[in-house]
Amino acid sequence: MVSTAWLAAKLGHPGLRVIDASWYLPGSGRDPAAEYAAGHIPGAVFFDVDASSDARSPLPHMLPAAAEFADRMAALGLNDTDQLVVYDGSGVNLSAPRVWWTMRTFGHDQVAVLDGGMGMWRRERRSLEEGGITLPAGHFTARLDSSAVRDLAAVRANIRTQAEQLVDVRSRQRFAGIEPEPRPGLRSGHVPGSINLPFTELVHPDGSMLPLGELRQRLAGSGIDFARPVIATCGSGTSACALTLGLHRLGHTQTAVYDGAWAEWGGRADTPVDSQPISQR
């Protein structure tokens, strides 16, 4: 992660690219593209999460093929040698970590998340830019690291083997099955045997991520064993990456994301679903 002060000092440096990766849950009433046009960090390009996903999949924003992702990033003006800084406007690291994880999963490791995101940038009254940004086409290479991704079959098998810890970062109400899902047609509850740690609990009220000691305590307090691998999951594979980012900062690299997430699991009739009252957490 990088601070707003660090980024403000580096803006305009050759090889540094800033990415606005804002995306919001269905029904939020927010339009990330319109918000970007109204004001973004100077020089930032807009990463459309949905348009940068697999258009052939019926599930929301699944990873695209490597060649398709490379083409889209090159069209944005990104290059293999660029140092990338990603932010969003959620105030809770909702979607920026997804783009951070996606870049790393396709082999681009020079990427960081802006701590505090657009909310902190605005509160500090730092400069903004209106409109859009068009950069010359870049050269971007993408190679999928399949070890960073889990599919439906892997999560099914893990219920039996418990080889990996499945950590669900949706709200406690959604995890317990007492709050409806924001996407229609999905059952309520969670994958049997999974742990719940809402991604909103990984940040301070100002949107900055918890310091490492406090972050470690929060994760351990939720039941996560740092000696074992973790599969992160959520509603659609987006906010799960906030947990992956937190674990990475703590040096825990045995992590993967269930890309189909609850949009896939909760939308099927042949997957087991569990629930439990909040009072039992």
**Residues of the domain holding 90:** 4-144
Same-domain check for residues 191 and 276: yes
Q: Is 85 helix (H, G, I), strand (E, B) or coil?
A: strand
Give the pLDDT confidence score for residue 104 in this predicted structure. 98
Quote the CA–CA distance of 11 and 126 in Å, as a whole number: 12
Same-domain check for residues 120 and 219: no
For residue 44, what is the DSSP state? Answer: P
Task: Provide, for the chain, the percentages of residues in helix, strand and coil under a 3-state DSSP scheme, each rounded to the nearest 5.
Answer: 35, 15, 55
Same-domain check for residues 129 and 157: no
Same-domain check for residues 50 and 112: yes
Give the pLDDT confidence score for residue 280 in this predicted structure. 40
Give the pLDDT confidence score for residue 57 in this predicted structure. 97
Quote the CA–CA distance of 159 and 260 in Å, as a whole number: 16
Same-domain check for residues 126 and 151: no
Same-domain check for residues 16 and 76: yes
Predicted structure pTM score:
0.96
- Show which of 109, 144, 179 is a domain's final residue: 144
CATH number of the CATH domain containing 93:
3.40.250.10
Same-domain check for residues 10 and 125: yes
Tell me which residues of the chain have a pLDDT lower than 50: 278-281
Same-domain check for residues 264 and 151: yes
- Show which of 127, 144, 161 is a domain's final residue: 144
Catalytic positions are 234
Q: Can you name the residues that pair with 16 across neighbouring β-strands?
A: 83
Give the pLDDT confidence score for residue 281 in this predicted structure. 39
Same-domain check for residues 227 and 266: yes
- Show which of 144, 164, 183 is a domain's final residue: 144
Give the pLDDT confidence score for residue 279 in this predicted structure. 43
pLDDT in tens, 200-244: 999 999 999 999 999 999 999 999 999 999 999 999 999 999 999
